[in-house]
Structure 1
Amino acid sequence: MPSKYRNFRKSVPWLILFLEAVFIVVFYFSFSGDGASRSRVSYPAFQDVNHMVIFGFGFFLTFLKRYGFSSTGFNLLIIVLGVQCSVLIEDLLSFLLQREDENSLKRITNAVVSVTAVVISTGALLGKTNPVQLILMTVVEIIVFHMSRWINNTFLQVPENLSMMHVHLFGAYFGLAVSSRFSEPSPRSEKNASTPKSDLLSMLGTLFLWVFWPSFNSVLAADKSKAIYNTYFALAVSAVTAFLLSVLTAKDGKFRMTHIQSAVLAGGVTVGYAGHSITYPWIAMILGLLASVISVLGSYCLQRCLNPALKIHDSSGVHFTFGLPGVLGALAQVVFTVINNWTNSPRQGYLVMVHIGAFCLTVSVALITGFITGLILNLKLFKTIPVSKYFEDQLYWEFPHLAVGF
């Protein structure tokens, strides 16, 4: 094994040290202090979101049988770096735009929610990037996501909580665009597979995400109780539908763990856009059902048709877990806007165009910047991993002994 793939001592520590030194210096000259106004975000709500991002996504990505250390370890690394970067960008935007300082708890909650975009993108690249590439992608994506939100908030007048829910769309399509620039693994790759143990750990992450998703959708919403209520029912129906469709689409008539792991979360992604404004729970339940259908059928069709044609290898299926349900949620928000403003035709057309424009802008920025980021990450400078070394923990982690069949 070439030494440049075995030992990152000359690059990773110094990059981390440099970024951390920059963060500390900039925090010392921080542009804003703690806002005087009382935050609508409570510490238990922040704690739920933090648990969801660290534990939930950390275990959710452990399905590869030889990439468990990297899935959980690198997830933590990019989250802690991304949160610091996100807070500083928020401070910079507040300073430049002369906005009122936010409460510290609100700022760090925004940062944790924002870094979810990076974690979702990482799922599309799982096992194909080295730590240097992941860290650089984290910084670039956080900056671009904040710029996308700023455009939506400033020019399209999209509410802050709604623009933040674009995190699923942005993360999924940014990650897919970056993934398109990496070589596809061999279909016969023995390491690009799961084991019962790795699937069980991944299901544990799914359960964490499922339990805390109502907090994620409601933490920044104006009507928190309604967002929690609707999110729970959407998640419940998407989970039931996932079990139903898993049996119907399997050749042997048995449940497939991959369907359950992805489709049970689709309802929470979809209802995040309008959960605070849905009046009746049956509407949220229908959205949860449709989201689960799109997720299961999308995994069945896209992996066989669209992904090979576009030469995209989506390691953890972020397209049909977060991307397609996010598209459904954005379209549902447009429909709800039309219904709620049915008697006000001039304003109705304006609001519809705003929501459609915000959706198109988010996806376009994610795809374009993701494609460019993928090209940059594949430069020789960043020592791209050869295809034969994909999905391998031993490139980065010390093992006291090499267990057969790990």
Structure 2
Amino acid sequence: MPSRHRSFRCSVPWLVLLLQALLLLRSFLGFPGVSDTYSSSSSSYPEFQDVTHMVIFGFGFFLMVLRRYGFSSTGFNFLLVVLGVQCSVLAEDLLVFLKGEQNEVGMESLTKAVMSTTAVVISTGAVLGKANPVQLIVMTLVELIFFYVSRCINGTFLEVPDYLTMMHVYLFGAYFGLALASRFPEPPPGLDKNRSTPKSELFSVLGTVFVWVFWPSFNSILVDSKEKAVLNTYLALAVSAVAAFMLSALTSKDGKFRMAHIRSAVLAGGVAVSYSAQGIHHPWIAMILGLLASVITILGAHCVQRCLNPALKLQDTSGVHFTFGLPAVLGAVATVVLRVVEGGIETRWNELSSLGYTAFFNIGAFCQTISTALITGLITGLILNIKLLKAVHVSKYFDDQFYWEFPHLSVGF
């Protein structure tokens, strides 16, 4: 173990220093046609602060579900977010440069950067405890690049609105993480470090509550109809939370609530309604979406964990598939249905070709996002397992002591 610790000492600090130096140099030189001055933006700081709290604090504690991986869950999450935000800002500048447009550093570009790192945080949950810091840093850089490529394809070729391309962050992060997790070896059957304790579950639920509270700001910060987006998101979250308690008691053997169900299902409504939050005109639609998302999450937890994951030899550590992936699929499909129905009512079912055109491009964006996430996740998984990145042995999975200094032994940890 000491030699492996020395190898991380020789790799992680210097990798972070190199990346920070390159990011600083690029920021100093800039892209031609891209301004490095600050600009005013419609995005307000309170909303941006809510999104930052959600991504750093909320998701940091949400991932603290493993009994001996609390330091790494919160610490690595913070490192990846602050490093990923800088990379995202530069990727946004490069995208604007390639389009031949003008861009200025403002609250909107910084907000998009923070929101983009949500894909990284979600993907981290799928490989939680199995990837070392070097692998996570490389994953962050690669995933952010591919996510921006996916956004560019959706916005340029499929004519998807900019805010909607950003809402694909849940879909991309979940399926990128699942494909990535399939490339990591399974832990040995006797390893018990990949389970939770009441203390770790409590911290995870604390993070869930923070994510729940700030989710309306996340869904509304980039849209024009902010009030409508906030109301629809809150209603969907409220219904999904109520349904989570109801379904948890109904599906458990002894009729008691299961914290794992609550932790996942209460967030499902926010994911499902994110695509259509500003376009839903009737509150009951958002409430039904929240209910269906909670049902899909809890039933998916049973079916996916017992059937799909063993068949694919896939270990989704924190359950990102049924927490974010399946509700995101529901939300994307619901958006297509709502647009077609509303468009048909407005046009009295005339001009069906235009409705089909809209549905085709929305479905295409949905399929493109999942396909890109799965393919690039598999490629990234192969890259992360090369010898140069010092993959962790399966016996050292889910262990803080492999990365962090403890002033005491892990008795009672």
Q: Quote the Cα distance in structure 1 between the aligned partners of 2:300 and 2:258.
A: 15
Please tell me the residue identity of whatever aligns with 1:340.
E
Q: 1:193 aligns with which of 192, 195, 220?
A: 195
Q: SS of the counterpart of 2:103?
A: coil
RMSD (CA atoms): 1.2
CA contact (8 A) 1:341 1:347 kept: no
Partner of 1:92: 94
| Identical-residue share of aligned pairs (%) | 67
CA contact (8 A) 2:120 2:173 kept: yes
What runs of 5+ residues in structure 1 fail to find an aligned partner? none
The CA deviation at 1:186 is 2.8
Q: Quote the Cα distance in structure 2 between the aligned partners of 1:154 and 1:37.
A: 25
Q: SS of the counterpart of 1:24?
A: helix
Please tell me the residue identity of whatever aligns with 2:4.
K
Paired positions, count? 406
Q: 2:394 aligns with which of 387, 401, 406?
A: 387
Q: 2:380 aligns with which of 369, 373, 383?
A: 373
Does residue 226 of structure 2 align to residue 219 of structure 1?
A: no
Please tell me the residue identity of whatever aligns with 2:285.
I
Please tell me the residue identity of whatever aligns with 1:176.
L
| CA deviations over 1:265-292 (Å, ceiling 9, x no partner) | 0000000000000001100000000000
Q: Quote the Cα distance in structure 2 between the aligned partners of 1:39 and 1:92.
A: 20
CA contact (8 A) 1:177 1:368 kept: yes
CA contact (8 A) 1:63 1:194 kept: yes
| CA deviations over 1:369-395 (Å, ceiling 9, x no partner) | 000100110111111111111000001
Please tell me the residue identity of whatever aligns with 2:18.
F
Does residue 133 of structure 2 align to residue 126 of structure 1?
A: no
Q: Quote the Cα distance in structure 1 between the aligned partners of 2:105 and 2:282.
A: 33
Name the stretch that deviates more: 312-321 or 89-98.
89-98
Q: SS of the counterpart of 1:296?
A: helix
Does residue 32 of structure 2 align to residue 27 of structure 1?
A: no
The CA deviation at 1:2 is 5.9
The CA deviation at 1:188 is 3.4
Please tell me the residue identity of whatever aligns with 2:375.
I
Q: 1:164 aligns with which of 159, 163, 166?
A: 166
Partner of 1:14: 14
CA contact (8 A) 1:94 1:100 kept: yes
CA contact (8 A) 1:6 1:395 kept: no
CA contact (8 A) 2:30 2:36 kept: no
Partner of 1:231: 233
Q: Quote the Cα distance in structure 1 between the aligned partners of 2:30 and 2:241.
A: 44
| CA deviations over 1:50-104 (Å, ceiling 9, x no partner) | 0000000000000101000000000000001100000001011111212232451
Q: 1:183 aligns with which of 182, 185, 195?
A: 185
Q: Quote the Cα distance in structure 2 between the aligned partners of 1:225 and 1:315.
A: 36
Does residue 109 of structure 2 align to residue 107 of structure 1?
A: yes
Q: Quote the Cα distance in structure 2 between the aligned partners of 1:259 and 1:365.
A: 29
Does residue 398 of structure 2 align to residue 396 of structure 1?
A: no
The CA deviation at 1:38 is 4.3
Q: Quote the Cα distance in structure 1 between the aligned partners of 2:104 and 2:164.
A: 18
Please tell me the residue identity of whatever aligns with 1:3.
S
What runs of 5+ residues in structure 2 fail to find an aligned partner? none
The CA deviation at 1:34 is 5.8
Please tell me the residue identity of whatever aligns with 1:304.
R
Please tell me the residue identity of whatever aligns with 1:166.
H
CA contact (8 A) 2:128 2:398 kept: yes
TM-score under structure 1 length normalisation: 0.98
| CA deviations over 1:348-375 (Å, ceiling 9, x no partner) | 0110011000000000000000001001
Q: Quote the Cα distance in structure 1 between the aligned partners of 2:14 and 2:42.
A: 39
Partner of 2:331: 329
CA distance change for structure 1 residues 269 and 102 in 2, over 3 Å: closer, same or farther?
farther
Partner of 1:54: 56
Q: Quote the Cα distance in structure 1 between the aligned partners of 2:77 and 2:90.
A: 20
Q: Quote the Cα distance in structure 1 between the aligned partners of 2:254 and 2:188.
A: 26
Please tell me the residue identity of whatever aligns with 2:198.
P
Report runs of 4+ in structure 1 exceeding 3 Å deviation: 34-38
| CA deviations over 1:308-341 (Å, ceiling 9, x no partner) | 1111100000000000000000000110111121
CA contact (8 A) 2:38 2:106 kept: no
CA distance change for structure 1 residues 237 and 375 in 2, over 3 Å: closer, same or farther?
same
Please tell me the residue identity of whatever aligns with 1:226.
K
Q: 1:354 aligns with which of 353, 358, 361?
A: 361
Q: 1:363 aligns with which of 370, 375, 394?
A: 370
CA contact (8 A) 1:5 1:385 kept: no
TM-score under structure 2 length normalisation: 0.96
Name the stretch that deviates more: 68-77 or 339-348.
339-348
Q: SS of the counterpart of 1:33?
A: strand
Q: Quote the Cα distance in structure 1 between the aligned partners of 2:232 and 2:6.
A: 48
Partner of 2:207: 205
Q: Quote the Cα distance in structure 2 between the aligned partners of 1:92 and 1:403.
A: 46
CA contact (8 A) 1:39 1:103 kept: no
Q: Quote the Cα distance in structure 2 between the aligned partners of 1:25 and 1:401.
A: 41
